[in-house]
A and B are shown apart, each in its own frame.
Chain A
Amino acid sequence: MKQFQYIHPTSQTAVLDAISKPGSKIIAGGTNLVDLMKKGVTAPDKLVDINSLPLSTVNTGPDGLHIGALTLNSVVSENSLVLDKHPLLAMALKAGASPQLRNMATVGGNMMQRTRCAYFYDTAMPCNKRTPGSGCGAMGGYNRMHAIFGTSTQCIAVHPSDMCVALAALDATVTIAGKKSKRRIPFTDFHRLPGEHPEMDNHLAPGELILGVDIPDNNFAKNSYYLKVRDRQSYAFALVSVAAGLDIQNGIIKKARLAMGGVAHKPWRLFEVEKSLEGKTPSEDNFKAAAQIAMQGAKAREFNAFKLKLAPATIAETLKHAGGLV
């Protein structure tokens, strides 16, 4: 690992000042960053440890449930407010990583984690995300784990998070601090598609800091489910995952929220599927029909064509669990 300078500022102002300089990177849990530094994928000159900032609270506020950016993934997944109001988020978090990693990983860090595309990690391979303009090893390579939605000619990597899939489905917002001002954006607008700039995973500007996320109140708690399909039963990245929340009143779906993981460069929210389910009864036929809508525009490569079948099947199965049919 390349040598670097380590600083541990104790105020938000000092952190924002430190990260405004090129070559600096924030470290929180470090579960992804330290790994990337060991592999030589990233080599910052300076690490800014933000763990002294007071950003690890979970509390109800004017915008729903607020979760500070430094809250540990394990803490969020066991928090009574989260379990009560948004069990979908707890389910997604528990499906991610291992207990040890969840004890280190933070909410903000989870959002900032990089793709696990093997060509991104292997510095001997071309990768437009790691080295813009170098090409993509995955497109003609072993692309079993890769995206089927929203790809570009530059990149077919997927975002690896489970937590983010749930937050995208739950209409969360992200609060971001810059040196001059604070801003809030919908969670679904935080991550971006690769387009011509796959080196950029999200819309966080250089020098900005994630303060936390807010989840508005909803009626999905009773009818939520997160289903993750992977190569082994636990501790593996998703081939396909689905987060579903249904608001069922008198046997009719009033509102639906759905997002998929493992299929795109960002959590893939299924707005059209949600609309198609509203006003319907929670039945297997309706769920299967909805799942087909989700697949419009899907495009597979040599080794990930199985996702074209796996994704709709996972959507239908998740909806059956959320809708109480299983």
Chain B
Amino acid sequence: MPDKKPVTPTGGEEPSNATRRDFIKQTSLLTAVALTPGTVVEAATNNMDEQIAAALEKLPLKMEVNGTPRSLSVEPRSTLLDILREQLDLTGTKKGCDHGQCGACTVHVNGRRVNSCLTLGVMVNGKKVTTIEGLANGEELHPMQEAFLKHDGFQCGYCTPGQIMSAVACIREGHANSEAEIREYMSGNICRCGAYPNIVNAIQEVKAGGQAV
């Protein structure tokens, strides 16, 4: 492969050590800095400065993510999805619709599958979170990951982490006993490439194999 740096739309080259993620982080920070003073000034004139001070306060969040205890400081409005991706660099969990309609952000909290985009981080305090990064055992893929590869359970792959987290939960919950049941209990995970038949096949194989998931 030729060592060619990506060309940006303006024709220039990206700085070698800057990633797209860093760029987004930096611009988000600048936006926050730009916005905050205005909000505070407005609040102060409304005699609401104490309330705003309380709202701007970050709260401690302790949770176990994929078996590792994590101690963070988060804004009350940060969703679990954003905390996982932006603060813990666990970018396997995807942001699709960000409104609980697509399932790309599915993770397990205390063993239950949930939409991390609608979960406030502060409400996960003291709980155990499992993301797609926590399924494999070292280099050994989880049986559901193997089955998705074998059955081609994806095309673009964007919904796949959510599909796999849901698929594992689907079997653990006891809702993978027929194709119809799998389809119903996987309905919270949308795949716009339409890999559904292969996803169902993957889940059926893991279920039939009887392996511990």
Contact = CB atoms under 8 A, between A and B. Distances in A.
Interface string A148-170: 00000000000000000000000
Given A5-B76, A35-B99, A99 B170 contact: yes
B118 interface: yes
A103 interface: yes
B118 A34 contact: yes
B77 A4 contact: yes
Interface stretch (A45-53, A189-197, A295-303): A45-53
A: interface residue count bin: 20 to 34
A181 interface: no
B155 interface: no
Contact of B55 (A31, A38, A45): A45
A237 B175 CA distance: 22
Contacts of B79: 34
B22 interface: no
Contacts of B113: 99-100, 103
Contacts of B99: 35, 38-39
Contacts of B213: none
B56 A3 contact: yes
B66 interface: no
B98 to A, nearest CB: 7
B114 interface: yes
A16 B163 CA distance: 40
Contacts of A235: 187-188
Contacts of B185: 99
A101 interface: yes
A88 interface: no
Interface in B87-135: 98-100, 103, 106, 112-115, 118-120, 122-123
B184 interface: yes
B41 interface: no
A215 interface: no
A306 interface: no
A51 B200 CA distance: 35
A27 B120 contact: yes
A195 to B, nearest CB: 30
Q: Which of A27, A51, A103 has the most CB atoms of chain B within a 10 A radius of its CB?
A: A103
Interface string A79-92: 00000000000000
B60 to A, nearest CB: 12
A101 B100 contact: yes
B49 interface: no
B158 to A, nearest CB: 17
Nearest to A102: B188
Nearest to B51: A45
A55 interface: no
Interface string B157-180: 000000000100110010100000
B118 A30 contact: yes
A49 B100 CA distance: 20
Contact of B106 (A5, A45, A100): A100
Given A3-B77, A35-B99, A103-B112, A30 B119 contact: yes
A99 B166 contact: yes
Nearest to A37: B77
Contacts of B119: 30, 34, 104
B64 interface: no
B77 A1 contact: yes
Given A6-B120, A99-B170, A235-B187, A35 B100 contact: yes
Q: Which of B99, B118, B122, B187 has the most CB atoms of chain A within a 10 A radius of its CB?
A: B118
A104 B114 contact: yes
Interface of B: 39, 51-52, 54-57, 59, 75-77, 79, 98-100, 103, 106, 112-115, 118-120, 122-123, 166, 169-170, 173, 175, 183-185, 187-189
5 contacts: A3-B55, A5-B76, A30-B120, A99-B170, A233-B184
Across the A-B interface, the 4 shortest Cβ-Cβ residue pairs: A98-B188, A234-B187, A6-B76, A235-B187
